Amino acid sequence: MNSGGSFLTSPVGETEIFSRENFTEEHQEIGKAVADFAKERIRPNKQEIEKYNEDLSRELMGECGELGLPGVDVPEEYGGLGLDKVTSAIVVENLSHGMCASFATTFGAHSGIGTLPTVFFGTSAQKEKYLPKLASAEWLAGYALTEPEAGSDAISAKTTAKLSDDGKHYILNGTKQFITNAQWAGLFTVFALVDGSKFSAFLVERDTPGLSLGPEEKKMGVKGSSTCSVYLENAQVPVENLLGDIGGGAAIAFNSLNIGRFKLGAAALGGCKSVIKEALEYASQRRQFGREIQTFDIIKSYFADMAIRTFALDSIVYRTIGMIDEGIRAIPKDAEKYNVLVAQAIEHCAIEASIVKIYGSESLAFTADNGLQILGGNGFIEEYPMASAVRDNRIDRIWEGTNEINRQIVSGYFLKKALMEELPIREKTKDIRFNNLDPYEAEPMANEKQFFDVTRDITLYVLHEAISRFGQDLQNEQQLAVILSDMFIDLYTMSSAIQRCAQAVTQKKEEPHWLPMLQVHCTERAAIVAGAAELALSGILEEPYLTAAQKKLATLKNKLPMNINIFKLKAEIADYLYEQDK
């Protein structure tokens, strides 16, 4: 199995990745069934769900339970389906066809971070007691990590857990804030400090003495979901409800968030596709200056940009989940603490999970904003779907770890892997070709591979200079770390899209518009990375070293094959979208 982050040092186009072209017939059938459910049951009820209709949301969650959707990740022996993580992503992606972020939030928090801590870290008794109820959605689940003074810095929590004198209960005291599903949940995963310092997790039932809830928060978006504070005042939690080991809360919290991150990216992917579909329908009917607005060049560029970002997102979502499933398959089914090893396999892809979360949430924001602009004044009206899409998506860049925190995770992991030589970053940096570049003329995707290789050399060069200047203190240079993270993100989307297209050509599964999308994506991202590198170097070096470094960077930038007419290609991409109407 490839090491997490290996896309930075591995040759592009030489290692097969997972993509939706590899879906089995079962994957496709499940995707269609979920999409049909979303269109037939969620979409028509969206307005009522958004009014905070608990009964309706519970009814729909129950219907999801009958289909087995909340239990996709739950083992069969505990009432679930026990399917792979690809299926899990397919479910949340296709639920987005309902275009109701409130219901998607309720479902996602329940089936992801609400349920999976018990799946991965629960004892047999805990699983037998709780998982059947969670898999069927008889009980909804909440994840109580955030506190008024502990958001992204989760392990600085103040909630305490003290063993009672008789040794039968842990007594929990503290406040949890912004807890999704709180008013409706039957079970919470609560994080607290045992003996004032040992960050631990507990399964806390709704009717636990000492547990109470605050009022519903008045939110900017996802108004039809439940979000409350959870108050713990001498809450008596049985000792058998300790989840995992004392002091093991960080592993539970962060592995749960890794899962939440790739699922959020998958949900955003479905959202992007739904927004494009709605915008296409509107643009084909709306007339201005005597013709449909979809014929205007600028509108075509909007649709092309939306499609390209969505294609890149699709590529990294399923590549990442394919890597996770590959790691899980390598674990013997009879291994001791099998589910803990599964969680560790997911953590192995923490870099990619954070990238999927960042790129997914920001791609949906970009797509929804463009969609609203295409609808013009109607986009601002609640009767149309774009207003809620823009408003509801805003939270995606905050929860599951803010995008700022996730960018620090990406750059931090690469710093660690470079210093510890977990990846051959030092050797790759020595191989940077400032003068010569081997030609790719005889290879498929030659131009795109050249774009990637040069862009990677630029990134490695900047990373090398940053580490040379700051060493381990680079983690404290947060503005620089953000620039580096964005460079890594662009490399991951480029390598994933290139490899996906190369595989599709070999398998004769490619679509006519894929190569134009790939060409535009690589051209634009390479130009952005090159510009970012110039900014980064000016923050790392001083004269006379800066001028010398800028000359080296210029030699690399000159190797980018910037000879592609992206305006023409974007028009072709849009025309193809119009033909397909999706």
| DSSP conformation class of 74 | S
* pLDDT of residue 346 exceeding 90: no
Q: How confident is the model at residue 341 (pLDDT cuts 50, 70, 90)?
A: confident
pLDDT in tens, 305-314: 999 999 999 9
Least Cα distance to 94 among 4, 23, 193, 144 occurs for: 23
* Both tokens assigned to 442: 């005889």
Per-residue pLDDT, averaged over 127-149, amounts to 96
pLDDT in tens, 247-283: 999 889 888 888 889 999 999 999 999 999 999 999 8
Least Cα distance to 253 among 334, 176, 331, 335 occurs for: 176
Mean pLDDT rounded to a whole number for the chain: 93
DSSP 415-474: HHHHHTTSS-HHHHHHT--SS-----TTSTTHHHHHHHHHHHHHHHHHHHHHHHHHGGGG
Residue 65 CA to residue 137 CA, distance in Å, equals 5
* pLDDT of residue 467 exceeding 60: yes
pLDDT in tens, 534-579: 999 999 999 999 999 999 999 999 998 888 899 999 999 999 999 9
Residue 354 CA to residue 360 CA, distance in Å, equals 10
Lowest mean pLDDT among 299-308, 408-417, 433-442: 433-442
Count CB-CB contacts under 10 A for residue 234: 13
Domains and CATH numbers, the chain: 141-247 (2.40.110.10), 407-580 (1.20.140.10)
> If 0-12 CB within 10 Å is exposed, 13-18 middle and 19+ buried, where does residue 493 land?
buried
Ranges assigned E (strand) in 267-419: 287-288, 291-292
Residue that wins the pLDDT comparison between 255 and 405? 405
Percent of the chain with pLDDT over 90: 80
* pLDDT of residue 442 exceeding 70: no
pLDDT in tens, 89-103: 999 999 999 999 999
**Torsion, Cα of 96, 102, 107, 110 (10° steps):** 150
Percent of the chain with pLDDT over 70: 97
Q: Is 138 a catalytic residue?
A: no
Residue 178 CA to residue 213 CA, distance in Å, equals 11
Q: Which residues contact 203 (CB under 8 A, 6 or more apart)?
A: 118, 122, 126, 130, 187, 188, 189, 190, 237, 241, 243
pLDDT in tens, 391-401: 999 999 998 88
DSSP 517-529: HHHHHHHHHHHHH
pTM of the model: 0.94
* Both tokens assigned to 267: 């949900």
> If 0-12 CB within 10 Å is exposed, 13-18 middle and 19+ buried, where does residue 488 land?
buried
**Torsion, Cα of 217, 220, 225, 227 (10° steps):** -30
* Both tokens assigned to 383: 């009767």
**Which CA distances in Å does 582 have to 43, 273, 306, 519?**
18, 8, 12, 21
* Both tokens assigned to 553: 């960077």
Least Cα distance to 371 among 356, 388, 350 occurs for: 388
Tokens 């305006």, located at residue: 567
Selecting among 93, 362, 400, 465, the annotated active-site residue is 400
